[in-house]
Structure 1
Amino acid sequence: MTVVDAHHHLWGADQGYTWLDQPSLAPIRRTFGPDDLAAAVEGTGVARTVLVEGGRCDTAEAALLLGHAKDSPLIAGVVAWADPADPALADTLAGYRALPGGERLVGIRSQVQGEKDPGYLDRADVRRGLRTVAAAGLPFDLVVRADQLAAAARLAGELPEVRFVLDHLGKPPIAAGASETWRGALHALAALRNVTAKLSGLVTEADWSTWTVGDLAPFVAVAVDAFGPERLMFGSDWPVCLLAAPYGRVKQALADALPPLSATERADVFGGTALRTYDLRP
């Protein structure tokens, strides 16, 4: 089994990640590079990773991330930022692929979770851009809040030609222990076969100081029931996860939170789904 971490970040402290200015994020307000990643995964069995844009929201970041992938044998793919509503999106994607490391481009993401317009995912220009992403042979990562899951399901249902990847299970309210509204919305999204999901970012949706595997397990069970192991993938969300737990504990917590699965099903969650979804090549 090739173990894949399908979701992590790298950033520089001086590279414009202004969201890190929040006081609560002081522990991760520093540079994290490929050497730090290699040290974090050592001893965990992780052999390949997917590097995801970190919320800087500009096209210049793609060159940095693809450069990391080019130079690191650990990073198998990059999910870069792009604005779906940009009329020049096709040119942007072509430009990414022409960069050093451009062959490692495996997906696109934008910060939908930060959009205040409840109709953002229904906009014609956004949907046109998502079709452009699909035409380029790439999936689109959906980083959305729990209250945006219904709009995401409507979107995926009306764009069956686009492959979507739900990040962080749509940010369930783990700390509050309330799951009913989220559960229904997640099942509606999971009913669409063009959607896969990441078991990522869960420890930071729980109480950072007191969370246990028991807090995560009910939400993980809902995801397994909704998507099945063949459409779920492990993601560490490192280094954001460091706010609540070190890398190895995050991976082990997911392994412990999963309901009983066959060896093949666990292999899907910890590698197979990511390899297929992002078409990760040797």
Structure 2
Amino acid sequence: MYIDSHQHFWNYDPKRDAWITDQMSAIQRDFTPKDLEVLLKQCNLDGCVAVQSDQSEDETHFLLSLADQYDFIKGVVGWVDLLKENLEERLSYFSTFDKFKGIRHIVQDEPLGFMGNQGFENGIGCLGAFNMTYDILIKPPQLAEAIRLVDKFPKQKFVLDHIAKPRISKGLDYKWASEIKELANRENLYCKVSGMVTETDNFKWTSDDFTVFLELVTEAFGTDRIMFGSDWPVCLLAASYQQVHSIISDFYSPLDLDKVMGENAVRFYNL
């Protein structure tokens, strides 16, 4: 089973989705499962994992309702307030949905030090009892925090989104590379090769721009802990779905593609 481990759906709301600026007009519209289903078939993918983009339980319910309607949505990574006192109650509730697999908080927008917040750590500590994963969405300056967080929870399943969003057009940054290698030593952490095309200057790129990043991440994590994610529809700012898919499918050997395009996501998210 080949899986897109990272994509989004939304009914566009200018107020709620204010992060989609006028400079991102290409994605200022609705994106539905019917839109994605065509693209998955074109790329011979069997399903996807829908990931939150709005920090609300309303959106989590929206994604779960879509997953009920469309069998190819194999899992949902939603949002629950990890800082709330009633967190365990909310996790218990969402655990009753078969396709609810994990939690993501948009940490990239939080101040440095957020992941060391006692309340946030307490929230992460509750996930294991419900067999829920956690998607780490950060930028390079937050990598050191991520290392400390993963160290505190060696039995929690983590996945790093978008290889921590390095500035692709600037070339390989030593500090990012060093911290990625250090983070990859934690075997409970996986990594999504996703979100790279939108980390380019003016969204201009060639496939060769990504090679050194893919080589480093693959060497660090190995092909057993890497998974493909399109980051559709955000990727459309810089590339088509097919182009994003080709960057990964052209880089890995057919044997490794079975893992990167499917087996690893199935295992990590228990699809």
Shared topology, TM-score over 0.5? yes
Do 1:41 and 1:248's aligned partners in 2 also have CA atoms closer than 8 Å?
no
Distance in 2, Cα, partners of 1:90 & 1:129 = 9
Given that residues 168 and 200 in structure 2 are in contact (C-alpha distance below 8 angstroms), is that contact kept between their aligned partners in structure 1?
Answer: yes
* Structure-1 residue corresponding to 2:74: 76
Partner of 1:224: 218
- The aligned residue for residue 19 of structure 2 is 19
**What count of residue pairs does the alignment treat as equivalent?**
270
> Which aligned runs of 4 or more in structure 1 are off by greater than 3 angstroms?
none
- Pairs within 5 Å for 1:4-43: 4-14=3-13, 16-20=16-20, 22-43=21-42
1:123 is aligned to 2:114:
no
Answering whether residue 253 of structure 2 is matched by residue 243 of structure 1, we say no
Deviations 1:174-233 (A, max 9, x none): 022142111001011100011001000011112354301100111011100000010000
Alpha carbons 1:197, 1:231 under 8 Å: kept: yes
Deviations for 1:113-147, whole angstroms, at most 9, x for unmatched residues?
A: 1101x221112211111011121101100001111
Aligned match of 2:98: 103
TM-score computed with the length of structure 1 as normaliser: 0.92
Structure 1 unaligned segments of length 5 or more: list them.
Answer: none
Which secondary structure state, in structure 1, belongs to the residue aligned with residue 82 of structure 2?
Answer: coil
Q: What is the aligned-residue identity percentage?
A: 34
User: How far apart, CA to CA, are the structure 1 residues paired with 2:143 and 2:165?
Assistant: 10
Q: Distance in 2 between matches of 1:88 and 1:197?
A: 30
Query: Distance between the aligned counterparts of 2:64 and 2:206, measured in 1?
Result: 35
Partner of 1:159: 153
Given that residues 131 and 161 in structure 1 are in contact (C-alpha distance below 8 angstroms), is that contact kept between their aligned partners in structure 2? Answer: no
Deviation at 1:97, TM superposition (A): 3.6
SS across alignment from 1:106: strand
CA distance in 1 between partners of 2:246 and 2:2 (Å)? 13
Q: Which amino acid aligns with 2:105?
A: S
Report the secondary structure of 2:168's partner residue.
Answer: coil
| Aligned equivalents of 1:4, 1:205: Cα separation in 2 | 23
Match for residue 52 of structure 1?
A: 51
> What does residue 207 of structure 1 align with?
201
Distance of 1:217 and 1:206 partners within structure 2: 14
Match of 2:61 among 56, 60, 63: 63
